[in-house]
Amino acid sequence: MRAKPDLSFRKLWDLSFGFFGVQIAYALQSANISRIFATLGADPHDLSYFWILPPLAGIIVQPIVGASSDRTWTRLGRRIPYLIAGSAVAVAVMCLLPNASLFKGYIDAMWFGVAALMLLDTSINMAMQPFKMLVGDMVNERQKGLAYSIQSFLSNAGSLAGYLFPILFTYIGISNMASPGTIPDSVVYSFYGGAAILILCTLYSALRIKEMPPEEFRSFHRISKQELRDKPGLLSLLRHAPKVFWSVGAVQFFCWAAFMYMWTYSTGAVADNVWHSPNPSSPGYQAAGNWTGVLFAIQAVGSICWAPLLPLIKNRKKAYSLSLFIGGIGFAAIPFIHDAYLMFVPYFLIGCAWAAMLAIPFTILTNSVSGKNMGVYLGLFNGSICIPQIVAALAGGSILRRIGGDQPMMLGISGLLLWAGALCVFFIKETFVHQNAP
């Protein structure tokens, strides 16, 4: 059996650099979608329902992309074509979504926004997933932790840029206010900037990444030509999935439900707790929208600071559980904080959980599955990200009504969810298909 060689740091970096641009797009979406829909007139109790569509699209598209790319061989490679297609759609939608109000004479702005959000999340995930697959394809087990750590760093660096765009544009004089039902220019220009960076990062990835040719890939992954031609169904693959697929998925359920509530209710929570301005048409609410981007940037900084410490904790499960526990403390503290700058502390702690969520689950999973079905299993594993978001979004409005419309308390509930995930980590039993490290 041939062993995958160690890759230079530059090659590991190139494998994930495009993640920077993709994550800027994802950060702009997660930090501004609730703000956009509230500005267009959505009731706070209905905000979570708008967040159902993105994960619903993801759970359908990702396994298809994974299975198709597993059997795609082109001059560009097997994963890169999907990266290019996803990025192209994402760029187009990023230019249209913040201009939803311009289509009022032809289609209801809210429904246009819903359709654009669904397309945006689907395309972002289609562009993001190939980078995870590329690490599984080309990196040996010994370097895989480092590769996903680089990916985590670039992801958080992209998030940092995307989260800060609106407040930076406001700072240089671009309007942060607009007439009722219209998106502020600071948000519109942020999406334009993110689209431009995504184009550049996609071009860099397409030019720099050289995927393995088919024969070399089969040799490294011990796959016969017949196995490569075989097309097992998704249900069959799920039935034969390793146990770690399900145990990590249980942890993922609590984690992604928690973060769904953060993305949905942070702007409202900050507006209520700090600016005391629940009205989306008020200057205070729009200022809170900008500050939410700053807080999400602080979360990214926390993740960047915590990620290098994770490999120093020798027991991977302890590192995972500890990170989620710390993030839970951050969420639980938010309802009790009423100062804009003190909010930095809980969001920094939340970043510790995010760092672990971006790296550890994929390291555990890709070590446990065969290279021939790597893409489809990563696509199916996306269900452990999408399903909890769908469940949380469906339940969010009802929970918010039961607690009297208290949006800060929804983030306290996120803390309980992360603590539950931290406990579930100890049910994971890691497995390894084979070792390619020399």
- Quote the pLDDT of residue 5: 80
pLDDT by residue (tens digit) across 406-437? 999 999 999 999 999 999 999 998 776 554 43
- Quote the pLDDT of residue 328: 98
Split at pLDDT 50, 70, 90, the class of 395 is: very high
pLDDT by residue (tens digit) across 46-101? 878 877 877 777 777 777 777 777 777 777 788 888 889 989 999 998 998 888 76
- Quote the pLDDT of residue 137: 80
Mean predicted confidence (pLDDT) in 282-307: 90
Per the CB < 8 A criterion, the answer to whether 382 and 129 are in contact is yes
DSSP-H helix ranges across 271-315:
283-306
Mean predicted confidence (pLDDT) in 320-346: 97
- Quote the pLDDT of residue 1: 46
Residue 387 in tokens:
């399903």
> Any idea which fold 9-427 has?
Growth Hormone; Chain: A; (1.20.1250)
- Quote the pLDDT of residue 44: 78
Residue ranges per structural domain of the chain? 9-427
- Quote the pLDDT of residue 298: 94
pTM: 0.74
Q: Give the highest mean pLDDT range of 182-186, 199-203, 275-279, 339-343.
A: 339-343
pLDDT by residue (tens digit) across 154-175? 888 898 899 999 999 999 999 9
Residue environment code for 358-384, b if the CB has 16+ CB neighbours within 10 A, otherwise e: bbbbbbbbbbbbebbbbbbbbbbbbbb
- Quote the pLDDT of residue 372: 60
- Quote the pLDDT of residue 220: 66
- Quote the pLDDT of residue 271: 94
